[in-house]
Structure 1
Amino acid sequence: MRTKITKNPNGMSSRRQFLSIIAAISATAGFGLSGRAVAVEKDFPAAAVWPLWLVEKAGSTVYLMGETPARANAWSDARVEALVKTCAEVWTETNQIRHKNPKELVAKYGLDTSKPITERLSANDVDRLKQVAELAKFPMEALAPMKPWLAAFTIESAYFGSLKLNEEGTAERVLLRSAKALNIPHASEFRSQDDLIEFMGGMTPQEDSQFLQYTLDHILAGHAENERIYAAWARGDSGPADAFVSNVKRVQPDLYAKHMVARNRSWLPRFAAMQKQSKPSLVIVGLYHMAGPDSLLEQLRADGWHVRAA
């Protein structure tokens, strides 16, 4: 959880790729996403190898890994990079495909001028949103017509954009470039950004507000805390990521059910389809989809796949 995006360090990598749409909307609305540079902690220590899982069933193999956040230095793991050329396809959460006008779609699914966003949130969440807007140097008034999910995308894009980290250096971007150079197909959970927008716009009011709460929690925790979680994961310690996901389950249960449990389960038929390939597939998902009691790893085990660390 990508659902992500820097690549938002909360693990939902789909949001990172949504930045270009948000930028276009921002330009239309008369405000930009540029923020002041802020101090950033050092990258999490490099691991000898990035955690990778072999997912096997009936003679078929799928490689599965969690995404990395954007960092000052590009991600690199020769072992995983070498696997790309052996794969039939590379799967991620979303892509850059657009079929419809993104601004029209966002206006339909992400804006609601019936009342300002501050009237959709608790007083505490309004105060927290103001704190994050200040951190991102982003005008609160620009968020007024947005539904909570769109405000979350927008304010997080502005905040992490201000950190000025290397978007092209995430594991997903590195591996997709290799796949493209080798003419290996790219497949996605969301077949286009149109589908992502419609998915987000289809959330219930509870899911919508909890998505924003989740985003505010993540930003206000600070970059150092996010780096701590990724550093532990890189060492093979899933404890901090598991704790983060467990907290989401406790404090944002509707969001957890839709974005963690349901989306993780929705990968099962995709893995079944991958069994028909003559070569293994490589799947890259937001890190928090790999953690917690309802993780993609656990869903696959329950579905009869043999899952082991590579």
Structure 2
Amino acid sequence: MKWPNFRWLAPALMLLGGCALAQPVSARSVTARSTYAAPALWTVKDADTTIYLFGTVHVLKPGIDWFKGGIKSAFDRSDELVLEIVEPEDPSALASTMAGTALARDGVKLSDRLNAEERARYQSAMAANGLPWQAFEMFNPWMAGMALSVQPLEKLGYKADLGAEKVLSAAAKASGKKIGALETVEQQLGYFAGLPMAQQVKFLTTTIEGLPDMDREFASLVKHWQGGEPDKLAAEMNESLEATPELARVLLIQRNANWAKWIKQRLDQPGTVFIAVGAGHLAGKDSVQDQLKALGVSSVRVKQ
């Protein structure tokens, strides 16, 4: 059997899923020096409804000034913020949900699913990133794979409380905007929990193999996001997904199709909505925009 290349999947999780093992938001960090950013923004409209589509990155470094200009204006004009998920106010509730979903029901220890070489590399990678591998023994491999997709980014200086969803959520709460969601936490975790065990193991082991390149690869994705270059972002991010049609269907295509249907139905209600989802969902073939087009709904890139 030919295994898909998951090399880009670990950093791409920060552009595909909302469950980022993140800490609760604190006050927005402010730095004297900032990096110019103009992420892409689209609109979907009818006579009495405007829906903005904004692609997010779930963790960012300090000094990336993106919440301004056309994006800030669109957000301010919106009555409602809609995210992929709305995380529980209590971080322990999210952790509990993740743990329950990831629990190995067959009683097999995680390390026993790996051969001797894989086990040694796994335990070494976990230790290097401050993650006690022993605490993950009761879980299925995708849980450790997700942890190793996120924890190294924190060491590299990326902050969860600077992630776009956190900033937007805080701004929505401060201004009294309604906050909705396209999915539940349980649904999103279920996409990973539903992967066949062999693919879960391969996801974990290949994530470990890609750790030395994570800084460069994630920085490249963020650069394309900052520059409003969805085509370039898609070309890099979708590389591993294109090699495995089933995974692409579960993590990307089917979700995009579901969201497009939601957006089309939302056009029946008047108002202005700001939708913020992982940037990968708004980039490349089978994006939300492509799915909307298939439903007869057009989207337009906003000039900034």
With normalisation by structure 1, the TM-score equals 0.75
> Structure 2: where are the runs of 5+ without partners?
1-10, 25-32
Residue 279 of structure 2 corresponds to residue 287 of structure 1: yes
Contact residue 71 and residue 169 of structure 1 kept, 8 A: yes
* 3-state SS of paired residue (1:64): strand
Q: Distance in 1 between matches of 2:79 and 2:205?
A: 38
Structure 1 residue 184 displacement after superposition? 1.0
Paired residue type of 2:43: L
Q: Distance in 2 between matches of 1:229 and 1:180?
A: 29
**Correspondences of 1:140-289 after superposition (within 5 Å):** 140-191=133-184, 193-205=185-197, 208-209=200-201, 211-212=203-204, 215-216=207-208, 219-289=211-281
Q: Distance in 2 between matches of 1:243 and 1:209?
A: 25
Structure 1 residue 272 displacement after superposition? 2.3
Residue 47 of structure 2 corresponds to residue 14 of structure 1: no
Percent identity between matched residues is: 20
In structure 2, do the counterparts of structure 1 residues 98 and 194 end up closer, same or farther at CA, with 3 Å as the change threshold? farther
In structure 2, do the counterparts of structure 1 residues 160 and 125 end up closer, same or farther at CA, with 3 Å as the change threshold? same
In structure 2, do the counterparts of structure 1 residues 305 and 221 end up closer, same or farther at CA, with 3 Å as the change threshold? farther
Structure 1 residue 259 displacement after superposition? 0.4
Q: Distance in 1 between matches of 2:162 and 2:239?
A: 29
Report the count of equivalent residues: 281
In structure 2, do the counterparts of structure 1 residues 96 and 44 end up closer, same or farther at CA, with 3 Å as the change threshold? same
Residue 50 of structure 2 corresponds to residue 61 of structure 1: yes
* 3-state SS of paired residue (2:139): coil
Structure 1 residue 206 displacement after superposition? 5.0
In structure 2, do the counterparts of structure 1 residues 258 and 123 end up closer, same or farther at CA, with 3 Å as the change threshold? farther
Residue 40 of structure 2 corresponds to residue 51 of structure 1: yes
- Aligned match of 1:90: 81
Structure 1 residue 185 displacement after superposition? 0.8
Paired residue type of 1:72: P
* Higher relative contact order, chain-length normalized (CA < 8 Å, sep 6+): 2
Q: Distance in 1 between matches of 2:61 and 2:175?
A: 25
Q: Deviations over 1:195-217 (max 9, x none)?
A: 44445434433554455467546
- Aligned match of 1:301: 293
Structure 1 residue 53 displacement after superposition? 0.9
* 3-state SS of paired residue (2:52): strand
Paired residue type of 1:19: A
Contact residue 81 and residue 175 of structure 1 kept, 8 A: no
Paired residue type of 2:160: E
Paired residue type of 1:61: T
In structure 2, do the counterparts of structure 1 residues 261 and 209 end up closer, same or farther at CA, with 3 Å as the change threshold? farther
Residue 78 of structure 2 corresponds to residue 71 of structure 1: no
Structure 1 residue 134 displacement after superposition? 4.7
* 3-state SS of paired residue (1:306): coil
> Structure 1: where are the runs of 5+ without partners?
1-6, 22-42
In structure 2, do the counterparts of structure 1 residues 187 and 218 end up closer, same or farther at CA, with 3 Å as the change threshold? farther
Q: Deviations over 1:186-237 (max 9, x none)?
A: 111223x344444543443355445546754664432222112221233233
Mean Cα displacement is larger for which, 195-204 or 108-117? 195-204
In structure 2, do the counterparts of structure 1 residues 63 and 121 end up closer, same or farther at CA, with 3 Å as the change threshold? farther
* 3-state SS of paired residue (1:280): strand
* 3-state SS of paired residue (2:238): helix
Q: Distance in 2 between matches of 1:52 and 1:95?
A: 21
In structure 2, do the counterparts of structure 1 residues 237 and 96 end up closer, same or farther at CA, with 3 Å as the change threshold? closer
* 3-state SS of paired residue (2:22): helix
Contact residue 34 and residue 64 of structure 2 kept, 8 A: no
* 3-state SS of paired residue (2:44): strand
Contact residue 88 and residue 94 of structure 2 kept, 8 A: no
Q: Deviations over 1:240-268 (max 9, x none)?
A: 32222432224343321100111111102
With normalisation by structure 2, the TM-score equals 0.77
Q: Distance in 2 between matches of 1:203 and 1:10?
A: 18
* 3-state SS of paired residue (1:292): coil
